[in-house]
Structure 1
């Protein structure tokens, strides 16, 4: 059992006077494939070595008691009457519990701790949802498989949080494997693993520590614009069910005005789906320089076409692309803040972090956080 799992178990026992089962679920990075998941495209995520931990013990009555170590807050509910509350961290848990509630009858105590940075684009919320779903499923022997739990996490976002996300984040958290990336087909949920061999390079996350308020509303707007693009494509190509089925040439004929937002947003997604397949080929070939070029291309599209970047993210990408030791960089996640993902030569990481941190804080007055991430294990029972 790792040190954090031991900490969670100890705190849970002290607070609730019961020894818990402890589960953990990882955050994730996405090598490439932004905003493709809800368009039935491909994504290329990997679990990372930062986790949300859940300590859980069963009760004999119907009470639910939730305690967050990070926020030092406790929330109460019952199995029969689960309602959303002011504590936002608790709503991710309660949403999952409400979706699962018809299948269990007893209450429980739950202690939560996470070291996945919140708001950094590493899907801390999906890690929490996945950990909770997996834990409740295991403790009450409900019989759900990992993909079903991922879908329940996605439903929680849609129904209780108000974000119409795709399934990538929950999938990656639940299905991660050590030192492997996953290519997920978001249409039929087929997936495959293959090793990620970075050699002399490693992934570095640079956290802007900003979270602009546009993120949730803009995410839903972009999804609607893509749906409009599909509807326009279907008028000419009825066989098109999603942007996954379209090419740029088809888009040009279906939407003759390239200044329409539905055209601009749809074209980005179509090109991004193509980039996922190219990156898989380049990883198999060991062509990391070409992977890096496509990371830069994705960022340019997210900035100029999809319009989900922000000055802080753009500055970080522009700053480090001047260094030959950096093969690629891009913003990662829904947008308007969070992290950039950077493919950096190992021997240059410390120097790069020192330089970019000083430059960033000097310009924006905000401290820059950095994380060197390794690929981690998916959701698991750890104690």
Structure 2
């Protein structure tokens, strides 16, 4: 079991008794690339997670060990800087956020590892950031709220990993609830839970096998294109402070000035925000078929207007569409690879997986990896039930 391995690795490297924390990855049912534009998202925490063993060591150093990489890294806490190895930046960035708030972080030891697939769009990086932030908050007794921890984890990614991400991933990891999805208003940070009936519908992720790096220029370029659209619109409509405030009519009226590319980027975001709100109404009504149609529309927008899909993701969505028991499918995450998220009737999951693997092999000559996930609660302390020898 994951926690047993992490605890054993901690005892092998360090002497203190650790605090055990689990931090889940996330799926996002709908609402992609809307978080950094002040829009709506609909994520859920899942049973793929990162486990942490963290303890104070009485020194001035953070001694970190990545169980998955089998690599150790030590840094003086008085001089925390981004650098190599890359995995340590997510942890150091969290430490820096505590320090920015005037909180002294004493020496600590940390072993972490997990089963969130890297580069599959399930936010392994956010799970790493949130897990350490939560553990330090517990160990230091700083009593920071979960929302404050989410903000700190987001800033850690901005400043130490170089990705100008929105807050959705960190929020989902910290605020997840079993059998519920949570709609977050990324502007006001107000949120509302909606039921997700895991008896009526299972979540299956299909991994394209294409690895993406969100730090690549494309992600930040999309953000800049959205900001350019707001800059144009706000000259005419002062109330438009983000794309959340914009309408399709306003975009159409200034299409020429926006330029074709910026226009399409902005149109996608405005339409996607509408889709999230409507999709939540379908979820409350238990209308999974209508919800699924919004997922397909989301993918089409991401493919054609936002241009963050790739041939492998498009093939997976189209292969899923005609299969029995499939309510909806779309790419999930930053794009350029990673997974599709599929809502599938429970009795059809086995046949769905087999059909998707066959289709991917036939069309691309590749082996398809799939994951069935369960919606779980957010970051929390683990009560260890097993003591590793």
TM-score tier by shorter-chain length is over 0.9
Q: 1:199 to 1:61 in 2, by over 3 A?
A: closer
Residue 51 of structure 1 aligns to a residue in which SS? strand
Shift of 1:215: 6.6
In 2, the alpha carbon distance for the partners of 1:214 and 1:164 equals: 9
Aligned pairs for 1:279-298 (under 5 A) are 279-298=279-298
In 2, the alpha carbon distance for the partners of 1:64 and 1:289 equals: 50
Moved over 3 A (4+): 212-215, 256-259
In 1, the alpha carbon distance for the partners of 2:69 and 2:213 equals: 21
Residue 194 of structure 1 aligns to a residue in which SS? strand
Shift of 1:361: 2.8
- String of CA shifts for 1:13-58, please: whole Å, max 9, x gaps: 1221222111011000111101111111111111001111110110
Indicate yes or no: 2:376 matched with 1:380.
no
- String of CA shifts for 1:270-299, please: whole Å, max 9, x gaps: 000000000110001111000010000000
In 2, the alpha carbon distance for the partners of 1:339 and 1:144 equals: 33
Shift of 1:373: 0.9
In 2, the alpha carbon distance for the partners of 1:334 and 1:61 equals: 39
Shift of 1:311: 0.7
Aligned pairs for 1:293-304 (under 5 A) are 293-304=293-304
Question: Paired residues, what number?
Answer: 381
Q: What is the RMSD of the two structures over their aligned residues, measured on CA atoms?
A: 1.5
In 2, the alpha carbon distance for the partners of 1:303 and 1:240 equals: 26
Shift of 1:136: 1.0
User: In the alignment, what sits opposite 1:187?
Assistant: 187
User: In the alignment, what sits opposite 2:74?
Assistant: 76
Q: Tell me, which stretches of 5 or more residues in structure 1 are unaligned?
A: none
In 1, the alpha carbon distance for the partners of 2:304 and 2:358 equals: 27
User: In the alignment, what sits opposite 1:339?
Assistant: 339
Structure 1 range deviating more: 74-83 or 351-360: 351-360
Q: 1:106 to 1:199 in 2, by over 3 A?
A: closer
Q: 1:186 to 1:28 in 2, by over 3 A?
A: same
Indicate yes or no: 2:297 matched with 1:319.
no
**1:48–1:374 Cα contact (<8 Å) kept:** yes
**1:208–1:313 Cα contact (<8 Å) kept:** yes
Q: 1:212 to 1:169 in 2, by over 3 A?
A: closer
Aligned pairs for 1:1-383 (under 5 A) are 3-101=1-99, 102-212=102-212, 216-256=216-256, 260-383=260-383
TM-score normalised by length of structure 1: 0.96
Residue 166 of structure 2 aligns to a residue in which SS? coil
Q: Tell me, which stretches of 5 or more residues in structure 2 are unaligned?
A: 384-389
